């Protein structure tokens, strides 16, 4: 064994490493005696303390044992020690590193979304325009929270559903702005609406249960509920939203986006809302209302939530601050019927205890001081102008070559181009578009050339420019 004084690893650490390597490759066999600390120090030209420190560590980890009066040995019955091997080597050997669960297998082939390439006009990002976010106020409130609750406290049962001031603020916001009927105890703060859906899947669904989802619909919901073993049944939509009469009789849960059908954009008509509530009037049926972006309605005032329209015990209402604040905040909420309060708290506790306190505290203040309402009002004006510019440009430059779905609300519009050349040209000239194919239960049957144009994070100038560039192909 040799030690190298130029290495940053201390000498005793080098000794530990080398002894372990020799035990692993059996140059030091089980039962072998290692030199005394004095001999080893002499052999290696290091101090006796260095060797003693190394031996002590190896003794405490079980690689060596000392026998009084006899010396220090490799344990006689030590099973073969694996040589630590980087994961890359395992992969190179073609071995599957770990077997995954059926949940993962059902999630299927998925990769984290690739970052958008540079120098493009990105019409695929769901990011709100963060340049217009009142960052100074937000930072001040976060710092204030840091002073008030520097390290929070260890999570207690009262915290699972969210900090009381935030639950109060959300409950009154929902009552006033969305017509939701609820008490703060029914509001649970969650880590983004994705967690709300995840908790619904855990609490409400058994493998084999039939869950109805709009088609096209939210792909994240389809994958998640499919992964827990639900049979996710596609239900068609038309200009009035979900076709309630087509709900499969076996469906127990229906996941819907009544205020702004995802992705096509229409609202669920009043008749359909009432029919859907009627459908849910059965002890084993429930509606999950995903109200993800209803703050941004441009024509007329926001439509009240389905939850407040009938028997609230049949609706789990889900919302998010991802679009009204910013997605990295990871705060959403779910309003659950009273009998589900404890099951949801239980599921949340066993999933992640609670959503981080610091941001919750800051958000509660942000809402209480009226910053959120102001920000939403401002962004509604900004986004309305962007939507108008986009629609104008589509009309002017593509005319009959594009059909535009409902555009009265939300941060995207869905378009269908008459020809594949437009998207082709978009790709060539650096405009990123998102196909709606993944929203369809069978992506292969998705309408040709249908795209989501997300306009929230693109300036008016660039929106017009993007359409001009794409349109060059159509003529």
Ligand X SMILES: Cc1ncc(COP(=O)(O)O)c(C=O)c1O
Q: Which residues bind ligand X (CB under 6 A)?
A: 126, 192-194, 218, 257, 262, 290, 292, 320, 322, 327, 332
Nearest C-alpha neighbor of 219 from the set 454, 443, 31, 463: 443
Q: Helix count (H) and strand count (E) of the chain?
A: 15, 17
User: What is the smallest separation between the CB atom of 108 and ligand X, expressed in angstroms?
Assistant: 19
User: What is the smallest separation between the CB atom of 14 and ligand X, expressed in angstroms?
Assistant: 48
Question: Beta-carbon neighbour count of residue 12 at 10 Å?
Answer: 21
Between the alpha carbon of residue 349 and those of residues 64, 178, 334, 344, the distances in Å are 42, 28, 15, 8
Distance separating alpha carbons of residues 33 and 404, to the nearest angstrom: 81
User: What is the smallest separation between the CB atom of 295 and ligand X, expressed in angstroms?
Assistant: 12
Distance separating alpha carbons of residues 407 and 384, to the nearest angstrom: 10
219 vs 310, beta carbon nearer ligand X: 219
55 vs 440, beta carbon nearer ligand X: 440
Helix (H, G, I), strand (E, B) or coil at 297: strand
397 vs 412, beta carbon nearer ligand X: 412
Pairing outcome for strands 71-73 and 121-122: unpaired
User: What is the smallest separation between the CB atom of 106 and ligand X, expressed in angstroms?
Assistant: 20
332 vs 361, beta carbon nearer ligand X: 332
161 vs 219, beta carbon nearer ligand X: 219
User: What is the smallest separation between the CB atom of 206 and ligand X, expressed in angstroms?
Assistant: 24
Which residues neighbour 225 within 8 Å (Cβ) at sequence distance 6 or greater? 197, 201, 205, 211, 213, 232, 255
Question: Beta-carbon neighbour count of residue 124 at 10 Å?
Answer: 17
Distance separating alpha carbons of residues 203 and 216, to the nearest angstrom: 25
User: What is the smallest separation between the CB atom of 97 and ligand X, expressed in angstroms?
Assistant: 29
Sign, CA torsion 327/330/332/336 = positive
Distance separating alpha carbons of residues 438 and 410, to the nearest angstrom: 19
290 vs 407, beta carbon nearer ligand X: 290
User: What is the smallest separation between the CB atom of 91 and ligand X, expressed in angstroms?
Assistant: 31
Which residues neighbour 103 within 8 Å (Cβ) at sequence distance 6 or greater? 227, 228, 229
User: What is the smallest separation between the CB atom of 305 and ligand X, expressed in angstroms?
Assistant: 14
209 vs 291, beta carbon nearer ligand X: 291
Distance separating alpha carbons of residues 242 and 254, to the nearest angstrom: 10
161 vs 265, beta carbon nearer ligand X: 265
Matching residue, tokens 């269908």: 416
């Amino acid at each position: 064994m040799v030690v190298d004084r130029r290495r940053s690893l201390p000498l005793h650490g080098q000794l530990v490493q080398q002894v372990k390597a020799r035990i692993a490759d059996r140059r030091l066999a089980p039962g072998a005696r290692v030199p005394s600390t004095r001999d080893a120090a002499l052999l290696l030209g290091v101090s006796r303390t260095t060797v003693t420190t190394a031996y002590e560590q190896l003794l405490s980890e079980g690689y060596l044992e000392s026998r009084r009066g006899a010396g220090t040995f490799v344990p006689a019955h030590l099973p073969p020690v694996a040589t630590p091997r980087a994961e890359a080597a395992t992969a190179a050997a073609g071995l599957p590193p770990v077997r995954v669960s059926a949940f993962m297998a059902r999630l299927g082939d998925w990769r984290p979304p690739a970052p958008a390439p540079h120098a493009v006009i990105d019409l695929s990002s769901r990011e709100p325009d963060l340049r217009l976010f009142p960052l100074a106020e937000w930072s001040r409130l976060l710092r204030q929270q840091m002073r008030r609750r520097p390290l929070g406290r260890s999570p207690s049962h009262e915290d699972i559903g969210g900090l009381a001031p935030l639950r109060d603020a959300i409950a009154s916001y929902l009552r006033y702005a969305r017509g939701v009927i609820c008490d703060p105890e029914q509001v649970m703060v969650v880590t983004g609406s994705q967690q709300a859906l995840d908790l619904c899947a855990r609490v409400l669904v058994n493998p084999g249960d039939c869950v109805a989802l709009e088609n096209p619909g939210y792909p994240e919901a389809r994958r998640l509920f499919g992964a827990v073993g639900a049979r996710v049944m596609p239900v068609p939509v038309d200009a009035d939203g979900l076709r309630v009469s087509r709900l499969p009789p076996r469906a127990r849960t229906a996941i819907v986006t009544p205020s702004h059908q995802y992705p096509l954009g229409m609202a669920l008509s009043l008749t359909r809302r009432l029919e859907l509530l009627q459908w849910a009037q059965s002890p084993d049926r429930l509606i999950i209302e995903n109200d993800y972006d209803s703050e941004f309605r441009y024509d007329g005032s926001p439509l009240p939530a389905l939850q407040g329209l009938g028997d609230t015990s049949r609706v789990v209402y889900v919302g998010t601050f991802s679009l009204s604040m910013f997605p990295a905040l990871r705060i959403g909420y779910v309003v659950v019927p009273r009998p589900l309060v404890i099951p949801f708290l239980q599921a949340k506790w066993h999933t992640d205890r609670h959503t981080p306190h610091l941001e919750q505290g800051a958000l509660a203040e942000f809402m209480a001081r009226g910053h959120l309402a102001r920000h939403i009002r401002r962004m509604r004006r900004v986004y309305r102008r962007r939507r108008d510019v986009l629609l104008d440009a589509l009309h002017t430059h593509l005319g009959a070559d594009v059909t535009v779905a409902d555009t009265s609300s939300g941060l995207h519009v869905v378009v269908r181009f008459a020809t594949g050349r437009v998207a082709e040209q978009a790709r060539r000239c650096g405009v990123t578009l998102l196909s709606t194919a993944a929203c369809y239960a069978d992506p292969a049957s998705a309408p040709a050339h249908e795209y989501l144009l997300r306009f929230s994070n693109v300036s008016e100038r660039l929106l017009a420019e993007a359409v001009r560039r794409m349109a060059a192909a159509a003529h």
